Amino acid sequence: MNDKIKRFFTEYSREKILALFLTLLIWLFMISGTREVKDFTVAVEVTSNDDIVLVSEIVEKVHVKVSGSLFAFARIREEDLKIKIDISTKKPGIHTRFLDSSMMPFGDGIKTENIFPSELVFKVSKKAEKVVSVEPWLEGQPPLGWKISGWSITPEQILVEGPENEIEELEIISTERIFLSSIKGTVEKTVKAHSAVPFIKPVEDVPITVKIELERDMDIRMFSKVPINLDSGKEAEITPLEISFRLKGPKDILQKMEQEKVKAYIKDQPDKKSFKTDSFYIKDLHEEVELLGLDKALEISVIKK
């Protein structure tokens, strides 16, 4: 068996190598003559100068269908698939650039079958600069029980650039959004400028500091027919049995207070069987809530049992 294998590789070796070489040539010829169709994405890079600004949406990619051999496709590198469009010499107005196969970055052996889109439209405007005021973009409402008492911003003005016709009418630029829903007390936020007008931006990326001051949003709530009790817990005949009063405090705290759980108490006088008083208090009242004075004079009579 070993002799057969040895003879296979040693007998007529020159003829066998020649046959293998010819087979390889035929295969390469067949492969090179076979054309395939493939789709590629080509990046678009637009260059301009400091005196103009592009005021239309930029087409960043075009889709190209090409045909070629496997060998030609093997030479294509994805990072080389880009075309450059120079608009630096264009005057203000609308310009159209048609794309053709000569602009495509595929090289020899590749035929461009289709380009989409096949034309790019550019709107160019003269660039202008202007100093404008900056205001914070405050989004939403503060938490319940809080309200804005004031804000300050640094810097108060910045230099922006953009299309000349838009810049002329611009007076104020806002910051990025600052959400108020989670802010309490006094806070500082560092944000960037944000223009609602397309193609207008700061000349320099300057950080903007916004100081927002929030204070308690106070309210008054009436509590009616609240039972009166002795704070000692002793039984007594109390006249009147109930009282109505107003509490002042932050909205969120007042809204959470349940009417049936609010109790009015008068301070007991242990050495007296009966007494009269003109004052009462609310037990466990939140420190931010205060009892307002009554509209008329109060007299509470107590007779202990």
Residue recorded with tokens 């439209």: 121
Is pLDDT of 19 > 80?
A: no
User: What is the three-class DSSP state of 74?
Assistant: helix
CB 67 within 8 A of CB 37: yes
Between the alpha carbon of residue 258 and those of residues 222, 227, 249, the distances in Å are: 12, 14, 14
Of 60, 121, 119, 128, the closest CA to residue 94 belongs to: 121
Confidence at residue 25, expressed as pLDDT on a 0 to 100 scale:
56
Confidence at residue 1, expressed as pLDDT on a 0 to 100 scale:
52
Task: Give the Cβ contact number of residue 85 at 10 Å.
Answer: 17
Between the alpha carbon of residue 283 and those of residues 280, 290, 301, the distances in Å are: 10, 12, 20
Of 225, 237, 243, the closest CA to residue 280 belongs to: 243
The tally of CA atoms less than 13 A away on the side-chain side of residue 266 is 31
Confidence at residue 71, expressed as pLDDT on a 0 to 100 scale:
76
pLDDT digits (tens, 9 = 90+) for 195-252: 988 899 999 999 999 999 999 999 999 999 999 999 998 989 999 999 999 999 999 9
**DSSP string spanning 82-136?**
EEEEE-TTPPSEEEEEE--GGG-TT-TTEEEEEEES-EEEEEEEEEEEEEEEEEE
Residue recorded with tokens 């550019």: 122
Is pLDDT of 160 > 90?
A: yes
Distance (Å, whole) CA 195 – CA 133? 12
Confidence at residue 10, expressed as pLDDT on a 0 to 100 scale:
55
CA angle (173, 176, 180) in 5-degree steps? 115
Is pLDDT of 140 > 70?
A: yes
Distance (Å, whole) CA 177 – CA 189? 10
pLDDT band at 33 (very low <50, low <70, confident <90, very high): low
Q: Over range 33-55, report the average pLDDT.
A: 86
Structure tokens at 102: 């000569």
Q: Over range 253-258, report the average pLDDT.
A: 93
Burial of 304 (0-12, 13-18, 19+ CB in 10 A): middle
Of 80, 79, 85, the closest CA to residue 119 belongs to: 85
Task: Give the Cβ contact number of residue 83 at 10 Å.
Answer: 17
pTM of the model: 0.65
Main-chain phi, psi angles of 11, to 5 degrees: -80, 135
